[in-house]
Structure 1
Amino acid sequence: MTRGGPILSDAPEFNIDPAGFWADPYPDLKRMRAEAPIAYVPQLGATLITRRDDIFEQEKRIEVFSSDQPQGLMTVLMGQNMMRKDGEAHMAERKAIFPTVSPRTVKQVWTAQFRAATERVLDGLAPRGRCDLVRDYAMPVSAEALKAITGLTNMAAAEMDRVSQGMIDGCANYAGDPGVEARCHDCTASIDAHIDAMIPVLDAAPDHSLLSVQRRAGLSDAQTRANIKLAISGGQNEPRDAIAGAAWAVLSHPAALARLRAGEVPWQHAFEEYARWISPIGMSPRRVARRDTVQGVTFEPEDRVFLMFGSGNRDERVFAHPDRFDLDQDIAAAISFGAGPHFCAGAWASRALIGEVALPMLFARFPRLALDGAARFGGWAFRGPLSVPVRW
């Protein structure tokens, strides 16, 4: 059917207040799951799939719900990276970058570097007695890890954070704000300049970094740059938000913190449960490649679909206590890293950085760590804390 514009799915319409949805999307998503699990949201110009099992099934049907989105914001602003490809083209690039992100490389190369960089950040914070976990701890810890993984060791941590946020804002700029788009272009230009400076360095001394590995694999310059921008857009803000957010969740639940400190529950599980409860990546867009019907809803070619991971991770049909942070929660069905062929390639690095390094090292260094005010959260496509004040 048409809704005053291009052909769209015939899903029931569900209206939201964009500002309220950004502040807290979960009440609306809960209503959608109950009343209209596949719903067209005019304020977002997309049809949202909100139940976990539907997302899990449909994400794998790339012949219908395609990641190839030539006119999508990510492709237009950042170049066509492997996340915006399907089938053999996607798998070829995924294989090319595997030496950078494999479990073996993470264990043998990156984890020691993560620990050393995190130790330096903690050393700098220790005398202060208080900080904002987002800005002062999680941001530099995430950025230093990403500098090593991408090969852009010439980029300052604050600049890594800035360019990541600029691209994320650009990719979520469905309202078409020209200022947001301009900032995104400025950020991608900064990344390109840093890549230009590092190419001769890494060609002369190859390593396991994404820039070096892709060049040795023979990927084109355009592919290499697009995939590095992808890694920065997904590898800075999400770990940053998960580190600070999971720390906040634990500090807000003293019984959980006591169990973690006693070693009864691994820190890795606290991270995984936080990523289910407040999914740092709340949504992934798809383009409808051919006409199809799902759960009675007909999709037309070129429809825009959002797979709402953050909603699926709170599906009351799947999780016993979906709206609670609960270390006893069975999280086997969580889709925090995706569910299909586009399962996050950086998942092993993220798990090591957050669950093995950033969280346990923070709480070991500061045994008296406590919240020092209210935390603030925001976002729905990407969600995380804006500020987590703490003292020790």
Structure 2
Amino acid sequence: MSTTSNTTAPAVPVADWITIPDLYDDPFPIYRRLRAESPVAWVPAVNRYMVTSFDACHTIEQDQETYSANETDSLMKRAMGHSMLRKDDPEHEPERKSYGSVLRPKAIKETWTAIFEQNTQRYLDEIFETGPGADLHFGFAAPYAAENLRQIMGFRNATQQDMQRWSQTMIDGTGNYADDPDVWAKALASSQEVDAAIDDLMPHYRKHPDATLLSAVVNSDLPVEAIRANMKMTIGGGLNEPRDVLGTAVWALLANPDQLAETLEDPSRFQTAFDEAIRWVAPIGMYPRQTTREVELGGVLLPAGARLGVVLGAANRDPQQFEDPESFNMGREKKPHLAFGGGAHYCAGAWVAKASVASIALPALFKQLPGLRLSEDRPARAGGWVFRGMLDLPVTWNA
């Protein structure tokens, strides 16, 4: 690791050895080295300072005045529009409030739990039809998360396949640090499709309000551009987070049979499995911030306007916060993690993810697929760093 320096600040490490393909394949050895050498380092490959310690990431989460979400030249703004996720208070607050109670525990209990149960059975039935050797990621986790989200959001004029395509292409745009023009073209096409779908539905929800998210925001005081941007943001994170933590939790349990056996004896431990899985592999692995003033962070002096990557995937494996953090261990001491973010931008969909995955889908999978285990014919495979989850999860069971 080389360094640059000046006369007024500590040397700023430059991690010019990092490549985007290596981050995508397996970022965790990279994060270990960064934390050991400097928890804040300039990474030319991604054109920003990567912040990898728990303490530094937590500091950023709690101080939006110094570490602004409203980043200049934001990839997310380009891919999805200027959503609340890239705004600070006071601009952020009214947009967050427009979501109302749609994603809160009371609504989940009264409205969405029954839908999650129906969708669990629907996609389990499809897995049964495919038979042992099915890919649990593409055959269950992805359509399940997509259909749940489609119904919560109220996209009556779209399919779960549309939701998956929109989500993936726009998310690819938000993580397009390589500036691939094909990625931008697909993100733009999806963005335009979502705009058209929202415009088509707005008159309906003005006349027929209901429990959906689109109904809530359409009947708020938000301008249409804010509605469009926030719905795109929700299509992204609201699909990939439950999908990816579901796949990671299944993978981790199947790879740790002792912990799986304990969980099957006490199904309440599926909640613990969810929480440990989302710590172990944070589905949203990194998000940007930008400094509003000169500030010292992690032992280096950052200038005003510094572009940061807040690496939750690294913070959640910081040995200063978690003992033996590289392992999946449901018995570890319970400590706070950052997988859902924090502060004003704490994930609005956290309760939906916990209910749909931990309370409903995980117990049903292991109950209805007896002897569920990883396939011996094809290996399970994960990928990503800005967003990380399973790419292949072939499984078998006692048919």
Q: TM-score, normalised by structure 1?
A: 0.95
Q: Comparing 260-269 with 141-150, which one deviates more in the overlay?
A: 260-269
CA distance in structure 2 between the aligned counterparts of 1:296 and 1:262, rounded to whole angstroms? 47
Q: Does residue 1:378 correspond to 2:379, yes or no?
A: no
Aligned to 2:51: 49
Deviations 1:173-221 (A, max 9, x none): 1121111000100111121222123223322321121111012122111
| From 370, 374, 393, the counterpart of 1:388 | 393
| From 108, 115, 118, the counterpart of 1:116 | 118
Aligned to 1:58: 60
Q: Comparing 125-134 with 249-258, which one deviates more in the overlay?
A: 125-134
CA distance in structure 2 between the aligned counterparts of 1:163 and 1:319, rounded to whole angstroms? 36
Superposed displacement of residue 18, structure 1: 2.1
Matches within 5 A, 1:322-337: 322-337=325-340
Aligned to 2:149: 146
Aligned to 1:107: 109
Aligned to 2:361: 358
CA distance in structure 2 between the aligned counterparts of 1:92 and 1:63, rounded to whole angstroms? 18
CA distance in structure 2 between the aligned counterparts of 1:375 and 1:50, rounded to whole angstroms? 27
Superposed displacement of residue 250, structure 1: 0.7
Deviations 1:37-96 (A, max 9, x none): 111111111001111011111221111110012420111221111111111111111111
8 Å CA contact 1:63–1:290 kept in 2: the answer is no
Task: Give the AA of the match of 1:24.
Answer: D
Q: Does residue 1:279 correspond to 2:279, yes or no?
A: no
8 Å CA contact 2:167–2:235 kept in 1: the answer is yes
Q: Comparing 299-308 with 131-140, which one deviates more in the overlay?
A: 299-308
Superposed displacement of residue 100, structure 1: 1.4
Task: Give the AA of the match of 1:14.
Answer: A
8 Å CA contact 1:337–1:344 kept in 2: the answer is yes
8 Å CA contact 1:246–1:270 kept in 2: the answer is yes
Task: Give the AA of the match of 1:67.
Answer: A
Unaligned regions of 5+ residues in structure 1, if any?
none
Aligned to 2:345: 342
Q: Does residue 1:200 correspond to 2:203, yes or no?
A: yes
The number of residues matched between the two structures is: 387
8 Å CA contact 2:38–2:298 kept in 1: the answer is no
Superposition RMSD in Å:
1.7
Task: Give the AA of the match of 1:98.
Answer: G
CA distance in structure 2 between the aligned counterparts of 1:39 and 1:375, rounded to whole angstroms? 32
Q: TM-score, normalised by structure 2?
A: 0.93
Q: Could you say if the C-alpha distance between residues 228 and 336 of structure 1 is closer, same or farther in structure 2, counting changes exceeding 3 Å?
A: same
CA distance in structure 2 between the aligned counterparts of 1:187 and 1:317, rounded to whole angstroms? 41
8 Å CA contact 1:285–1:307 kept in 2: the answer is yes
Q: Could you say if the C-alpha distance between residues 9 and 110 of structure 1 is closer, same or farther in structure 2, counting changes exceeding 3 Å?
A: farther
Aligned to 1:19: 21
Q: Does residue 1:157 correspond to 2:160, yes or no?
A: yes
8 Å CA contact 2:39–2:298 kept in 1: the answer is no
Aligned to 2:301: 298
Percent same amino acid among aligned pairs?
Answer: 39
What's the secondary structure of 1:142's corresponding residue? helix
Superposed displacement of residue 265, structure 1: 5.1
What's the secondary structure of 1:12's corresponding residue? strand
What's the secondary structure of 1:170's corresponding residue? helix
Q: Does residue 1:76 correspond to 2:78, yes or no?
A: yes
8 Å CA contact 1:273–1:331 kept in 2: the answer is no
What's the secondary structure of 1:293's corresponding residue? strand
| From 251, 266, 287, the counterpart of 2:254 | 251
Superposed displacement of residue 295, structure 1: 3.5
8 Å CA contact 1:9–1:299 kept in 2: the answer is no
